[in-house]
Amino acid sequence: MSREVISSKQGISIMILFIIGSTLVVGMGSEAKQDSWIAIILATLIAIPIVFLYSRITNIYSNKNLFYILEKVFGKFIGKIISFFYVCFFIHLGALVFRNLSEFTNIVIFPDTPREIPLIPMVILCTWAVKEGIEVIGRWSHMILILVLGIVILGTFIFSIPKMDAYNIFPIMSNGVKPIVIAAISIFCFPLSEVVIFTVVFSSLKNGTNRFKVYLIGLLMGAGGILISTMKNILVLGGVGSVNKYFASYNANSLITIGSAFERLELAISLIYLVTGFVKISICILAACKGVAQIFNLNNHKFLSTPIVILMFNLSIIIYENTMEMVEWAFKVWPYYSVIFEVMFPLVILIVAEFRNGIFKDKIKGL
């Protein structure tokens, strides 16, 4: 198969949409209440060294994806076992996004429709996108990014100004630093460190691209979008008000009225969710397909998109009993589970890769 290539701008666009993904609708940092904006800034600062770690791993073996690197670093057998766990993680992540989407549509848009039905168009679209390849997803993301960031996030923020109360962000740190740190760790794990998936996808970046720059700009802009949205929710709904809602952005936007002409701008949030959810699920499918293809030494990964997307879809139906369980899982369980794949494994991979490539070896010899 010929190598697919995306530009750095397309890479950044995919990453921003991926980070904004389900976060914008599900919300985050509930532990910190009105201080969740501080938690987002703190989480972004923690995430910067981690994206340096990811970019360093992919820089050592340029143009190669995480699964290839795993086999190179740990050998075929152990590499394939760790690859299998990563594939499961990506499939699980895709299923979670599917489920978030179905919960959202089931609660706010189609309450009487079975939750499988609204997902079917998304399943078909994502399968199609992955079969077309990362180039198509990249071009599409680059085109749609202006709509998501410019019109929807900034637009809804500006239109919400009449409904905002600046006193909603006070008192700052009234509950101490602990809830902010807990919220920051939660935000760090979901969604900022989920960009570990780009160690698979960014093997398609043009030769000579500065990967750290792509990671950093993507991270900062994605986190910036989330920060703007969270600030809007806090200022409009208040700290407790934004925590009590399952879909705070949707509720904050539903209060927007511009004269009597423009109302019900919460549809903008639904639009963002569909667009960003599509990108996030497609990237998860693509990464899982590449992983399975690498494990079984297959040259073509695209043909696997159909069974993997169907597996994700089925998994999304059984994964939670209800919305409360989904929210509990996202905030309480996900950080412990994801940190293994987002921090621990990459750290070990980097250390072993540096040893294998002689960087540490030379230093030890010099002692």
- Strand partners of residue 262: 258
Does an H or E element contain 206, and which?
none
Return d(Cα 77, Cα 295) in angstroms, integer: 10
Task: Select 262 or 336, whichever has its Cβ closest to another protein.
Answer: 336
Task: Select 167 or 336, whichever has its Cβ closest to another protein.
Answer: 336
Task: Select 159 or 313, whichever has its Cβ closest to another protein.
Answer: 313
Task: Select 173 or 298, whichever has its Cβ closest to another protein.
Answer: 298
Q: Which residues bind another protein (CB under 8 A)?
A: 92, 114, 116, 292, 296-298, 300, 303-304, 306-308, 310-311, 313-315, 317-320, 325, 329, 333, 336-337
Task: Select 123 or 220, whichever has its Cβ closest to another protein.
Answer: 123
- Burial, 85: exposed, middle or buried (Cβ in 10 Å; 0-12, 13-18, 19+)? middle
Shortest separation between residue 31's beta carbon and another protein, angstroms? 17
The number of beta carbons lying within 10 Å of the beta carbon of residue 178 is 10
Shortest separation between residue 341's beta carbon and another protein, angstroms? 12
Task: Select 77 or 296, whichever has its Cβ closest to another protein.
Answer: 296
Return d(Cα 338, Cα 345) in angstroms, integer: 10
Shortest separation between residue 20's beta carbon and another protein, angstroms? 23
Shortest separation between residue 267's beta carbon and another protein, angstroms? 27
Distance of CA 23 to the CA centre of its chain: 8
Task: For the chain, state the CA radius of gyration.
Answer: 20
Shortest separation between residue 336's beta carbon and another protein, angstroms? 5
The string of DSSP codes covering 77-126 is HHHHHHHHHHHHHHHHHHHHHHHHHHHHIIIII-TTS-TTTTHHHHHHHH
Shortest separation between residue 295's beta carbon and another protein, angstroms? 9
